[in-house]
Amino acid sequence: SQKIEQNSEALNIQEGKTATLTCNYTNYSPAYLQWYRQDPGRGPVFLLLIRENEKEKRKERLKVTFDTTLKQSLFHITASQPADSATYLCALYSGGYQKVTFGIGTKLQVIP
């Protein structure tokens, strides 16, 4: 069955450092890999997506890589700030009318 794994434990980093979150998947061939941010008690907010034929995508301080051979995506936040503290969700989508499948997320805490 399809499986998405994210670092399930919380990730604590010092302000100003780069946070790197990992998303691994099995039994899946996604056309798109998506990343969302979720704050406590709120709905997830879409951040960015990367297509299967793209290796890297950037948006401001965010960078995502996608390796379809390793079946892995890395999500980087550079120059992290306490306001970046949240849970980050990885999601896979095959396109068309297919559903979006989510990992359980990684909780990031940026320490001042």
Interface residues with other proteins (CB under 8 A) are 31-32, 34, 36, 41-46, 49, 89, 91, 93, 95, 97, 99-105
Q: How far is the CB of 14 from other proteins (least distance, A)?
A: 27
- Give the pairing of strands 62-67 and 86-93: unpaired
Query: Would you say 8 or 18 has its CB closer to other proteins?
Result: 8
Query: Would you say 26 or 81 has its CB closer to other proteins?
Result: 26
Token pair for 74: 């890395």
Query: Would you say 15 or 39 has its CB closer to other proteins?
Result: 39
Kindly state the DSSP code that residue 9 receives in the 8-state scheme: S
Query: Would you say 84 or 103 has its CB closer to other proteins?
Result: 103
For residue 86, which of 50, 42, 49 has the smallest C-alpha distance? 42
Q: How far is the CB of 87 from other proteins (least distance, A)?
A: 10
Q: How far is the CB of 105 from other proteins (least distance, A)?
A: 7
Q: How far is the CB of 86 from other proteins (least distance, A)?
A: 14
